[in-house]
């Protein structure tokens, strides 16, 4: 098949079937488990849980919002009324472990500051619940290992909140890049940044965040490079180029790094000190692949050397949550596992190590080998 008709067919098929290869069962397969819908409890009712996850759960086919865990008593009545949550399904951080006795809650979604991810993932697993943990998985590789071990010991599934693996635009970047459709070599440039001016934000405090924008925004750039190449980096170097050291005295305000892959190079940037940016550009031998914006919740746009990506924006969180519900119901593996989360923390620690040593070149000889590979449709 000639390249241009082939690409048009690829774009048409992948958009029309909505990530068919990664979720072949999402819209058609009836779960074998007798329970039609799984109950989810959100742990932490901050901005993301309130404005993204809770509304998304309403759009899922295989789960519902069954419970909440919050340290703010004033939120309880509001959430109970809005989402028809039973009083007995409302918990706080002190009595959280008693959730083990609640058969209506099957999945715990941890949406807390980064430093609390490990504790509540481990407690959820010990309570006999499957877990979705927001990214970054934790603030250290050591904690990631403990989280994976706890879920394995409890025979419970663990998924990381990497919503873009369920987005059609990023899905096409994966397919086109990994399958070398436009050539064997690529050079990627990517940036995810916004301006953060709140000195009281937990994101500016290392004990809560584990780092600056690298842990929050930069992880999308890191992921985007890996899943577009479909490869693991072999070396990297980084520098923290913070401008406002008064505000960002505990974490970096800006981080820049470059990575070498078997098929090319990637230059990455993330910042809390610059105007909004969200793009992933891959220059190939036969033209440019681009997502701009690339990492947003919606409003994404993409182009290829053969024209615009002909796919639609979706509710990323709803598809992500539904996919995990079906992993549980059908006893299948999530594509965004704890092993992937550990891999990313390993690379984040290497980026931080390089930046702390004035851009020292770090050889990556033992990157945890976990990739989400997308075959052609």
Q: Residue 16 has what pLDDT?
A: 40
**Rounded-to-10 torsion of CA 106, 337, 212, 142:** 100
Alpha helical stretches, state H, the chain: 3-17, 47-48, 54-58, 73-83, 117-126, 141-153, 168-178, 206-209, 213, 219-229, 316-330, 338-356
Catalytic residue among 91, 162, 182, 220: 220
Q: Residue 372 has what pLDDT?
A: 97
What is the pTM for the complete model shown? 0.92
| SS3 (DSSP) at 356 | helix
Q: What is the pLDDT of residues 267-322, one digit of tens each?
A: 999 999 999 999 999 999 999 999 999 999 999 999 999 999 999 999 999 999 99
Q: Residue 376 has what pLDDT?
A: 83
Q: Residue 35 has what pLDDT?
A: 75
Contact by Cβ (8 Å): 38, 102 = no
Q: Residue 36 has what pLDDT?
A: 86
Long-range contacts of 88-94 (CB under 8 A, 24+ apart): 89/39, 89/41, 91/41, 91/67, 93/69
Contact by Cβ (8 Å): 159, 324 = yes
* Pair type for strands 235-240 and 254-261: antiparallel
Q: Residue 11 has what pLDDT?
A: 52
Alpha-carbon distance of 178 to 229, in angstroms, equals 5
Contact by Cβ (8 Å): 356, 65 = no
What domains does the chain contain, in order, with CATH numbers?
A: 22-163 (3.40.50.720), 168-312+337-363 (3.30.360.10)
Alpha-carbon distance of 120 to 70, in angstroms, equals 12
pLDDT tens by residue, the chain, 377 residues? 344 444 445 454 444 434 433 443 343 344 444 578 999 999 999 999 999 999 999 999 999 999 999 999 999 999 999 999 999 999 999 999 999 999 999 999 999 999 999 999 999 999 999 999 999 999 999 999 999 999 999 999 999 999 999 999 999 999 999 999 999 999 999 999 999 999 999 999 999 999 999 999 999 999 999 999 999 999 999 999 999 999 999 999 999 999 999 999 999 999 999 999 999 999 999 999 999 999 999 999 999 999 999 999 999 999 999 999 999 999 999 999 999 999 999 999 999 999 999 999 999 999 999 999 999 85
Residue 220 is among the residues annotated as catalytic for this protein: yes
Looking at the DSSP bridge assignments, the partners of residue 237 are 258
| SS3 (DSSP) at 360 | coil
pLDDT, the chain, mean: 93
Residues 6+ apart with CB under 8 A from 288: 281, 282, 303, 305
Alpha-carbon distance of 130 to 109, in angstroms, equals 9
Q: Residue 34 has what pLDDT?
A: 56
Alpha-carbon distance of 269 to 252, in angstroms, equals 12
3-state helix, strand, coil in the chain (%, to 5): 40, 20, 40
Alpha-carbon distance of 307 to 304, in angstroms, equals 5
CA dist 302 → 278, 280, 290, 291, 332 (Å): 12, 9, 6, 4, 31
Contact by Cβ (8 Å): 237, 218 = no
| SS3 (DSSP) at 15 | helix
Residue 82 is among the residues annotated as catalytic for this protein: no
Contact by Cβ (8 Å): 354, 238 = yes
Q: DSSP string spanning 143-212? A: HHHHHHHHHHHTT--EEE--GGGG-HHHHHHHHHHHTTTT-S-EEEEEEEE-----TT-GGG-HHHHSSS
Q: What is the pLDDT of residues 11-56, one digit of tens each?
A: 544 444 344 334 433 433 444 445 789 999 999 999 999 999 999 9
Q: Residue 259 has what pLDDT?
A: 99
Alpha-carbon distance of 106 to 97, in angstroms, equals 14
DSSP code at position 257: E
- Number of other residues whose CB lies within 10 A of the CB of residue 186: 25
Residues 6+ apart with CB under 8 A from 149: none
Q: Residue 17 has what pLDDT?
A: 38
Catalytic residue among 91, 109, 129, 135: 135
């Amino acid at each position: 098949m000639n390249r241009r008709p082939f690409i048009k067919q690829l774009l048409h098929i992948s958009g029309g079937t909505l990530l068919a290869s990664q979720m072949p069962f999402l819209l058609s397969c009836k779960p074998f488990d007798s329970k039609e819908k799984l109950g989810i409890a959100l742990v932490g009712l901050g901005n993301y849980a309130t404005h993204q996850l809770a509304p998304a759960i309403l759009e899922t086919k295989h789960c519902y919002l069954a419970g909440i865990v919050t340290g703010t008593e004033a939120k309880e009545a509001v959430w109970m009324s809005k989402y028809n949550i039973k009083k007995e399904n409302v918990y706080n951080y002190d009595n959280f472990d008693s959730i083990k006795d609640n058969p209506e809650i099957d999945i715990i979604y941890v949406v807390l500051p980064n430093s609390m991810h490990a504790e509540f993932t481990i407690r959820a697993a010990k309570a006999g619940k499957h877990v979705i943990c927001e990214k970054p998985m934790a603030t250290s590789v050591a904690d990631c290992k403990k989280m994976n071990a706890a879920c394995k010991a409890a025979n419970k599934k663990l998924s990381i909140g990497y919503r873009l693996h369920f987005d059609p635009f990023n899905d096409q970047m994966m397919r086109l890049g990994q399958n070398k459709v436009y050539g064997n070599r690529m050079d990627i440039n990517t940036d995810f940044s916004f301006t953060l001016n709140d000195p009281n934000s937990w994101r500016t405090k290392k004990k809560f965040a584990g780092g600056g924008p690298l842990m929050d925004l930069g992880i999308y750039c890191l992921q985007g490079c890996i899943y577009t190449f479909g490869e693991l980096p072999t070396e990297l170097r980084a520098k923290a180029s913070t401008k406002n050291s008064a505000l960002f005295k505990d974490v970096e305000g800006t981080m820049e790094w470059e990575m070498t892959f078997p098929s090319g190079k990637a230059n990455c940037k993330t910042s809390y000190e610059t105007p909004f940016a969200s793009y992933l550009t891959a220059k190939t031998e036969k033209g440019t692949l681009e997502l701009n914006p690339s990492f947003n919740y919606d409003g994404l746009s993409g182009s290829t050397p053969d024209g615009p990506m002909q796919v639609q924006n979706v509710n990323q969180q709803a598809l992500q949550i539904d996919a995990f519900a079906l992993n549980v119901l059908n006893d299948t593996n999530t594509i965004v596992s704890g092993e992937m989360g550990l891999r990313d923390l390993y690379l984040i620690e290497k980026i931080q190590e390089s930046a702390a040593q004035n851009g020292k070149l770090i050889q990556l000889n033992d990157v945890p080998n976990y990739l989400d590979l997308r075959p052609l449709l």
